[in-house]
Amino acid sequence: MDYIGDIHRRAEQAKRPVISIEFFPPKTEKGDASLLNKTIPNLMGLKPDYCSVTYGAGGSTQGKTLKIVREIQETHGLTAMSHLTCVDSTVDDLRAYLDQACDAGIKNILALRGDPPSGTSEFTAVEGGFTYSYQLVELIRSYGSFSIGVAGFPEGHIACRGGKHIDWQHLKSKVDAGADFVLTQLFFNNDDFFEFRDYIANELHLDLPICPGILPILSTAQIRRFTELCGASIPQDMAAKLEVLKDDDEAVMEYGIDYATQQCRALLEAGVPGLHFYCLNKSYSTTRVVKNLGL
């Protein structure tokens, strides 16, 4: 299995984008089987560079991430990154997870703080735990055996009261602590991404791969829920289109494939180092988008 830092270095030399796909751990054994035996084999046709598996996001269990990551690597030979958050974990808990990850041959961790539990707006660290993700990056870096990714927010993090520039400045502490690359939150207006990327390069003088997170929309209700949760905005033209398509999921999915294709095409033309697809454990839309792009 590869270090994602190395994957990026090789792709840059070959002048090609890194393609990565994000999964979440299914809640049932049937879901596990469908992900491992159907969705991932379908997506392997795209020859992704690596995939990642979320940790405790959207109600998924934390314990399953390691198991799924290991199974993907062992069964499909695809480099898989584990997400890891500081939620409900002491430093000892985090060390125990990282020790297990090392033993399981996992070489890549996406270091996150995690969201406050639903119903609360403030994140509170547990006693003996971390408050910010840069502290987790420092811990992971002390192992010396992981490539480390961190989250970036083209529209600013939803909880950062000081606004997006203050949030972007906080990214510097993650990079100084040892992050190798950034994966962004979903966004639909490329100008938001370009402003973010330029600020990081020109104002913060940071030089590392920043890969846009792409969500091919699957349903109107779902995208409204997601954007409300993460604070990403829906552009006016998209909102108007969704208003017309409403609950016609098939039409929304086709629109989502079209929109994501155009979005990715413009991002690639602007030289992004990779594309990170939020596939929501489904292969159809991501496959269509990557094929449309001729990658």
Q: How far apart are CA 256 and CA 294, in angstroms?
A: 18
Q: How far is the CB of 129 from ligand FAD (least distance, A)?
A: 12
Q: Which of 25, 213, 216, 256 binds ligand FAD (CB under 6 A)?
A: 213
Q: How far is the CB of 244 from ligand FAD (least distance, A)?
A: 29
Would you call 22 a catalytic residue per the annotation? yes
Contact between residue 70 and residue 97 where contact means Cβ atoms under 8 Å apart: no
Counting contacts by CB under 6 A, is residue 56 touching ligand FAD? Answer: yes
Residue whose tokens read 């046709």:
45
Residue 128's region, left for phi above 0, alpha for psi from -120 to 50, else beta, is: left
Task: Give the footprint of ligand FAD on residues 99-138 (CB under 6 A).
Answer: 110, 112-115, 132-134
Active-site pick, 22, 74, 138, 195: 22
Counting contacts by CB under 6 A, is residue 18 touching ligand FAD? Answer: no
Residue closer to ligand FAD by CB (options 133, 241) is 133
The alpha carbon torsion through 31, 44, 146, 25 (nearest 10 deg) reads: -10
H-assigned helices in the chain: 4-13, 29-34, 40-44, 64-76, 91-103, 133-143, 164-176, 190-202, 220-230, 236-245, 249-269, 284-292
Counting contacts by CB under 6 A, is residue 55 touching ligand FAD? Answer: yes
Stretch that binds ligand FAD, among 4-12, 33-41, 96-104, 166-174 (CB under 6 A): 166-174
Residue closer to ligand FAD by CB (options 23, 255) is 23
Task: Give the footprint of ligand FAD on residues 146-165 (CB under 6 A).
Answer: 151, 157, 159-160
Q: How far apart are CA 293 and CA 272, in angstroms?
A: 14
Which residue ranges make up the site for ligand FAD (CB under 6 A)? 54-57, 83, 85, 110, 112-115, 132-134, 151, 157, 159-160, 167, 170, 173-174, 183-185, 213
